[in-house]
């Protein structure tokens, strides 16, 4: 293949990464933006989504599409439930103290990871894609499923944006984010908003995982990279800024796809991580964010 | 409150050191080895505690200081054939230098950003170790041969692979660092650090250079953690990238939280306790991380002060 098609392939792969990353990072960003909680267990919710997707789709026989659709509905709901329980039992009792919640979510990370290892095992297992249509480009064929992942993610992002900016629920969430105490004084059930946001954040990660699992297989350690990348995206995009998160996800996903096609992936990660750390040091509000309150 | 009893505090700490000395002759072989490891790692926890407990800076990247010491000592022995004392100093120097650079950068941030920045620098350090696998051994790590772990003093020689020598070397390092921490936290400098933790703005207003004090604390903490790493490499003869991973940044946090942040003996108690819990439970379950996770959550929910912190609060107000 020549350089042009090669670059196109890298860009397409990068776009798929971006789409999934944007969903995952959006979950992290929502939780941080509204609750001021850094959820270190976010990557494990992602992993849990993928593992549950495998469980659901193998339990259901018949056409792979049926199993996949069932997984796309059931897995995120279960993950949301787990997150809700964790929020009730742990985060609320800590009164959302930033340092306490970091330590507690580190604890959750280990618990979820270990339980996945115990009950799911160390193997990587595939989930069959719902359809296997290949789009023929002049230079190579490309998986139609991968492109549909991009489309579905884009739709979900638009829906989230609409909910945040155009509905009452979104208004309540933004009010809580802006000023927790005043919101409470106006009769907004802040604790219920927090619980809901934490569950939705985890569900977004789980949806992203179900979408990616036909491409990359489910494994109990698969949560680590998305966690780090989501952190990077959220920081570059500005903590708590939705638009910034999406732009940063596309930026990171594309550059990750292109850089790791031409250079060593370890070197790509080193550079990306170092750049992000420097952004945090010298421009803590992120590249697109405004100064946080 | 704590001023009243310097003699009591020093007596207690020297008592603990004497107890650990005596244990060498009582403990069975297996536990003697475990205790040597615990003392070396307790030094890591003490270094972490200096920053987390006293200055209130929660770092999620201290594995990089530990592994700077580990590799600083390990690589100079392995590749350059340095002697044990020089290698140990090289390890400590690497850690202190790294801490200086990281401190200058990371201290520009605070709170959550500080945690994430330290975590990311540690991740970069970890990836660099993997990237330069030709020298560091990458995932596999390097084994330091017994022959290069002998200190020659005139005609006599100390073989660090001998269990008793190893135990005593770990104890010596532990004792020195314990007494240094005790002296530091009782000093003017230590009090300024606590003042920064309690109210940084006010401390600044009183005329203290808080940034310089924090930087000094980061460097001291990094150097102590590197000393632990260097000792670990030389005493146990293995350096590997797993020591630079995120888990080794979380473990000292866990040990310190368990033992009691901002207490001088807490890090030892926490490390000891956690090591034995995992040692005992590993008999009937391999779910080691599950225990770490549950312990972290329970601690932060029900005992944020840890073991020594609770004892100080309830009974012994003079405990340093």
pLDDT in tens, B260-283: 888 999 999 999 988 888 888 776
Q: Indicate the residue of B106, B124, B293 with minimum beta-carbon distance to A270.
A: B124
| Chain segment B288-317, per-residue pLDDT in tens | 788 888 888 998 888 888 888 888 888 777
Rounded CA-CA distance A234/B66 in Å is 29
What is the SS3 assignment for B207?
coil
- Give the separation between CA A78 and CA A85, rounded to whole angstroms: 11
pLDDT class for A126, splitting at 50, 70, 90? confident
Cβ–Cβ gap A90/B105 under 8 Å: no
Packing angle between helix A190-216 and helix A64-86, nearest 10 degrees? 140
| pLDDT for res B217 | 96
Contact A72, A45 (CB under 8 A): no
Look-up of token digits 């106006």 = A186
Task: Provide the 8-state DSSP code for B27.
Answer: S
Question: Residue A7's pLDDT band (boundaries 50, 70, 90)?
Answer: confident
Query: Is it the case that residue B224 has pLDDT exceeding 90?
Result: yes
CA distance A165 to chain B (A): 27
Average pLDDT over residues A219-236: 86
User: SS in 3 state form for B235-252?
Assistant: HHCEECHHHHCCHHHHHH
Whether residue B253 has pLDDT greater than 50: yes
Please, what sign has the CA dihedral across residues A156, A161, A167, A172?
positive
pLDDT of A23 above 80 = yes
Q: Is the pLDDT of residue A291 over 50?
A: no
Residue A49 has pLDDT above 80, yes or no: yes
Check if B287 contacts A (Cβ < 8 Å): yes
DSSP character at residue A218: B
Query: In A, which residues are within 8 Å of B106 by CB distance?
Result: 281
Q: Which of residues 189-228 of B touch A (CB under 8 A)?
A: none
Residues of A in contact with B113 (CB under 8 A): 280, 284
Reported as a single tens digit per residue, the pLDDT across B87-136 is: 999 999 999 999 999 999 999 988 778 888 999 999 999 999 999 998 99
pLDDT given for residue A277 in this prediction: 87
The CA distances from residue B254 to A31, A176, A261, B11, B106, in Å, are: 24, 32, 39, 27, 22
Kindly identify which residue of chain A lies nearest to residue B124, measuring between CA atoms.
Answer: A270
Q: How many residues does chain B have?
A: 320
pLDDT score of A292 = 45
What's the mean pLDDT in B167-184? 95
- Give the pLDDT score at B1: 45
Average pLDDT estimate for A119-131: 88
What value does the mean pLDDT of chain B take?
90
State the pLDDT at residue B148. Answer: 80
Mean of pLDDT values over A36-45: 91
Q: How far is CA B180 from CA A214, B5, B58, B172, B184, in A?
A: 56, 17, 21, 12, 6
Listed residue (B57, B64, B62, B65) closest to B210, CA to CA: B57
Name chain B contacts of A93, Cβ cutoff 8 Å: 301
ipTM score of the complex?
Answer: 0.82
Q: Is A158 exposed, middle or buried (0-12, 13-18, 19+ CB in 10 A)?
A: exposed
Q: What is the mean pLDDT of residues A94-119?
A: 89
Q: Torsion over CA of B63, B66, B72 and B77, rounded to 10 degrees?
A: -120
Using CA atoms, how far residue A242 sits from A31, A33, A234, A245, in Å, is 12, 9, 9, 5
Q: Give the Å distances, CA to CA, from A102 to A9, B111, B152.
A: 38, 11, 47
Q: Which helix (H) or strand (E) holds A164?
A: helix A144-166
Domains of chain A, CATH where assigned: 3-282 (1.10.3470)
Which range, A4-13, A209-218, B144-153, is most confident? A209-218
| For chain B, counts of helices (H) and of strands (E) | 14, 4
Nearest Cα to Cα of residue A20 among A223, A189, A271, A195: A223
- The predicted structure's pLDDT at residue B270: 93
Beta-carbon separation of A100 and B300 below 8 A: yes
CA B166 to chain centre: 18
Q: What percent of chain B has pLDDT over 70?
A: 97
- Collect all residues of chain A within an 8 Å Cβ-Cβ radius of residue B128: 270
Q: pLDDT value at position B169?
A: 93
| Average pLDDT over every residue of B149-165 | 81
Sign of CA dihedral A243, A231, A68, A147: positive
Give residue B146's pLDDT band: very low, low, confident or very high (50, 70, 90): confident
Q: What is the pLDDT of residue B14?
A: 92
**What DSSP line would sit under B100-163, residue for residue?**
HHHHHHHTTS-THHHHHHHHHHHHHHHHHHHHTHHHH-TTT-EEPPGGGGEEEETTEEEETTSH
Taking contacts as CB-CB distances below 8 angstroms, the residues of chain A near B108 are 281-282
Per mean pLDDT, which of A71-85, A179-193, A221-235 is the most reliable? A71-85
- Using CA atoms, how far apart are residues B50 and B228, in angstroms rounded to an integer? 14
- Compute CA B232 distance to the chain's CA centroid, rounded to the nearest angstrom: 11
Tens of pLDDT, residues A134-171: 888 877 888 889 999 999 999 999 999 999 889 998 89
Chain A interface test: which of B57, B292, B293, B305 (most A C-beta within 10 Å): B293
Interatomic CA distance for residues A286 and A241, integer angstroms: 9
Residues sharing a CB contact under 8 Å with residue B141, sequence separation 6 or more, in sequence order: B238, B239, B240, B241, B242
Percent over 90 (pLDDT), chain A: 40
């Amino acid at each position: 293949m020549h350089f042009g098609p090669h670059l196109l392939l890298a860009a397409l792969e990068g776009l798929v990464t971006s789409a999934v990353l944007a969903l995952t990072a959006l979950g992290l960003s929502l939780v941080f933006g509204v609750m001021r909680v850094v959820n270190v267990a976010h990557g494990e919710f992602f992993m849990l989504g993928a593992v549950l997707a495998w469980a659901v789709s193998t339990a259901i026989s018949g056409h792979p599409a049926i199993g996949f659709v069932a997984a796309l509905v059931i897995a995120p709901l279960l993950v949301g439930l787990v997150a809700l329980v964790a929020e009730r039992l742990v985060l609320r009792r800590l009164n959302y103290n930033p340092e306490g919640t970091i330590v507690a979510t580190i604890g959750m990370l280990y618990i979820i990871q270990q339980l996945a290892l115990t009950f799911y095992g160390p193997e990587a297992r595939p989930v069959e894609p719902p359809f296997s249509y290949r789009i023929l480009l002049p230079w190579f064929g490309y998986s139609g499923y991968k492109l549909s992942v991009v489309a579905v993610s884009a739709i979900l992002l638009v829906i989230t944006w609409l909910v945040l900016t155009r509905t009452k629920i979104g208004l309540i969430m933004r009010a809580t984010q802006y000023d927790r105490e005043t919101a409470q004084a106006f009769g907004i059930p802040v604790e219920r908003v927090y619980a809901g946001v934490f569950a939705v954040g985890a569900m977004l990660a789980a949806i992203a995982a179900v979408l990616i699992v036909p491409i990359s297989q489910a494994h109990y350690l698969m949560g680590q990279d998305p966690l780090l990348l989501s952190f990077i995206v959220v920081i570059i995009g500005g903590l708590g800024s939705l638009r910034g998160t999406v732009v940063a996800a596309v930026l990171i996903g594309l550059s990750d796809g292109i850089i790791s096609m031409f250079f060593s992936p370890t070197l790509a990660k080193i550079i990306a991580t170092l750049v992000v750390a420097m952004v945090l040091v010298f421009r803590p509000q992120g590249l697109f964010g405004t100064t946080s309150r | 409150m704590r001023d009243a009893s310097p003699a009591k505090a020093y007596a207690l700490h020297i008592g603990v050191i004497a107890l650990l000395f005596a244990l060498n002759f009582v403990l069975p072989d297996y536990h003697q080895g475990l205790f040597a490891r615990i003392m070396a790692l307790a030094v890591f926890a003490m270094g972490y505690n200096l920053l987390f407990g006293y200055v209130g800076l929660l770092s999620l990247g201290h594995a990089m200081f530990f592994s700077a010491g580990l590799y600083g000592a390990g690589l100079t022995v392995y590749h350059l054939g340095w002697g044990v004392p020089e290698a140990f100093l090289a390890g400590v120097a690497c850690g202190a230098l790294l801490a200086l650079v990281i401190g200058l950068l990371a201290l520009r941030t605070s709170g959550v950003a500080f945690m994430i920045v330290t975590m990311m620098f540690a991740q970069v350090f970890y990836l660099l170790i993997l990237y330069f696998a030709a020298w560091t051994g990458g995932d596999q790590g390097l084994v330091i041969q017994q022959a290069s772990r002998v200190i020659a003093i005139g005609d006599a020689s100390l073989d660090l692979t001998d269990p008793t020598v190893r135990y005593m070397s770990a104890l010596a390092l532990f004792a020195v660092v314990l007494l240094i921490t005790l002296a530091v936290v009782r000093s003017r400098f230590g009090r300024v650090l606590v003042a920064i933790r309690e109210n940084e703005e006010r401390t600044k207003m009183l005329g203290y250079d808080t940034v310089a004090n924090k930087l000094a604390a980061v460097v001291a903490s990094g150097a102590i953690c590197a000393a632990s790493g260097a000792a670990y490499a030389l005493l146990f003869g293995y350096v590997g990238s797993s020591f630079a991973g995120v888990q080794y940044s979380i473990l000292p946090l866990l040990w310190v939280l368990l033992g009691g942040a901002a207490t001088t003996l807490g890090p030892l108690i926490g490390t000891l306790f956690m090591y034995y819990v995992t040692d005992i439970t590993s008999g009937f379950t391999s779910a080691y991380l599950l225990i770490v996770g549950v312990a972290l959550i329970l601690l932060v929910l029900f005992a944020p002060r840890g073991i020594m912190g609770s004892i100080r609060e309830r009974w012994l107000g003079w405990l340093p």
